[in-house]
């Protein structure tokens, strides 16, 4: 009887222990390296929250079943303080120690060193890039996914709106670094070709500074109709307030990194936003799934969502979809090859829409703009910029779940 009891225990308990060990082993690690402290800490936290929320939802729904085995995701996050060497070290540690299949990163200057090593033989990992710098997706990196539109779409549309306002003289006080340099050069080219004038160009470090009196004074001394500004939303709000404190009464063209929602909430006097042109407020975008996302996000993180949180959330869901389609937990090349099959991701299930992936690995999403006029935010304009024919545009109109009628706008040289 004792021998039978021992055999019974082994027969019942051992499979349970092995199953538990299997559950612990069946885990896919996702990495994040970005600014989680300093002036850009809020920006980085918004990004990582979106990834974290998607992982929570996927895991709570049972994870993924790959070839009969169940997997869940685990997020490993690292603060790189926008330092390229630290970011590279983080990426190597996340891949080497934790075997992360992908590393999310939201700053171009820290993406660059990662993209130099993520295709190393036997050490490959996906780079999930939250960067609108066009060159990021033009490098030929085969293990890259860029989860936002190229900023050229916003340069073109915002320049058109600024011109229609009658503005002709613009000064630039944009964040330093590859992102800011690209925005300034592209905007200046577009603006001067229209016949406008760039009166001043004073890049400044939005990630390290909180006082911008000197570059603002130099820019405002050239009597501009508007300021082109942008970087993390928190420091952008400071720049607007400091510009108004110096007596500036003109408008603002905001780069696509800036969230009007966040700036509005951060500013002591939101009326200072008068004349601003920027990416549409999340509070003014509505898909069927948007309300639930916003409620769940705010309940979990005790803050309102931003475009950073939503796009990184979408990036994580797209990654999970590619893992499921490829039926592999570690073959990153197979996972990357499966990405195009994930789309479209529409607003009946997600808080925004992604219609596909470009040849360079970039999300294809609409660009939505708003302006502030007479103290009020205008209704959004939702631009469909990638379609080349009326038939392609009509297809988007047919499948979108958005309640905002799309506008077809071809972007030259996209």
Question: Do 140 and 160 share a domain, yes or no?
Answer: no
Domain count, the chain: 2
Query: For the whole model, what pTM was predicted?
Result: 0.86
CA distances from 372 to 8, 253, 261, 363, 380 (A): 73, 11, 12, 28, 11
pLDDT reading at 19 higher than 50 = no
Question: Do 36 and 126 share a domain, yes or no?
Answer: yes
Determine the structural domain holding residue 307 and report its residue range. Answer: 8-150+288-364
pLDDT at 20: 46
pLDDT at 6: 47
pLDDT reading at 1 higher than 50 = no
* Mean of the per-residue pLDDT values of the chain: 91
Question: Do 13 and 145 share a domain, yes or no?
Answer: yes
Question: Do 136 and 170 share a domain, yes or no?
Answer: no
Contacts of 132 (CB under 8 A, 6+ apart): 146, 148, 149, 150, 151, 154, 179, 256, 257
Residue 183: inside a domain, yes or no? yes
Residue 392: inside a domain, yes or no? no
Residue 396: inside a domain, yes or no? no
Q: Answer with the one of 276, 299, 327 that is the final residue of a domain.
A: 276
Over residues 64-70, the mean pLDDT reads 96
CATH number of the domain that 337 lies in? 3.40.50.2300
Question: Do 99 and 138 share a domain, yes or no?
Answer: yes
Question: Do 108 and 186 share a domain, yes or no?
Answer: no
Question: Do 94 and 193 share a domain, yes or no?
Answer: no
**Which single residue is written with the structure tokens 């000197």?**
214
Q: Answer with the one of 276, 296, 325 that is the final residue of a domain.
A: 276
């Amino acid at each position: 009887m004792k021998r039978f009891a021992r055999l019974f225990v082994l027969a019942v308990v051992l499979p349970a222990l092995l199953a538990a060990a299997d559950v612990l082993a069946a885990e896919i690690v996702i990495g994040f390296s970005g600014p989680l402290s300093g002036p850009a800490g809020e920006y980085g936290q918004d990004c990582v929250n979106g990834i974290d929320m998607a992982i929570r939802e996927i895991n709570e729904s049972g994870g993924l079943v790959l070839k009969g085995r169940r997997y869940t995701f685990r997020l490993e996050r690292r603060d790189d303080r926008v330092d390229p060497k630290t970011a590279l070290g983080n990426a190597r540690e996340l891949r080497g120690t934790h075997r992360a299949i992908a590393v999310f990163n939201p700053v171009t200057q820290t993406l660059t060193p990662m993209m130099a090593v993520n295709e190393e033989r036997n050490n490959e990992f996906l780079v999930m890039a939250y960067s609108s710098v066009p060159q990021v997706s033009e490098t030929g990196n085969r293990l890259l996914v860029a989860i936002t539109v190229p900023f050229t779409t916003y340069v073109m549309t915002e320049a058109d709106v600024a011109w229609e306002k009658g503005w002709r003289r613009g000064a630039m006080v944009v964040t330093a670094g590859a992102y800011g340099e690209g925005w300034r050069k592209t905007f200046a080219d577009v603006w001067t070709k229209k016949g406008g004038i760039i009166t001043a160009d004073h890049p400044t470090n939005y990630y390290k500074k909180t006082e911008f009196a000197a570059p603002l004074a130099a820019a405002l001394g050239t009597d501009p109709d508007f300021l082109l500004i942008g970087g993390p939303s928190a420091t952008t709000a400071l720049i607007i307030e400091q510009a108004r404190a110096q007596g500036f009464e003109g408008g603002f063209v905001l780069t696509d990194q800036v969230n009007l929602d966040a700036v509005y909430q951060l500013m002591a006097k939101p009326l200072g936003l008068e004349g601003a042109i920027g990416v549409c407020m999340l509070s003014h975008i509505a898909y069927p799934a948007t309300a639930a996302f916003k409620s769940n996000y705010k309940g979990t993180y005790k803050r309102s969502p931003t475009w950073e949180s939503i796009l990184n959330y979408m990036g994580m869901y797209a990654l999970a979809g590619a893992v499921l389609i490829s039926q592999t937990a570690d073959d990153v090349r197979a996972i990357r090859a499966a990405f195009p099959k994930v789309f479209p991701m529409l607003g009946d299930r997600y808080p925004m829409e992604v219609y596909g992936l470009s040849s360079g690995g970039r999300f294809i999403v609409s660009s939505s703009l708003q302006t502030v006029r007479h103290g009020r935010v205008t209704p959004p304009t939702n631009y469909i910029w990638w379609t080349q024919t009326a038939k392609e545009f009509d297809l988007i109109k047919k499948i979108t779940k958005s309640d905002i009628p799309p506008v077809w706008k071809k972007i030259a040289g996209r």
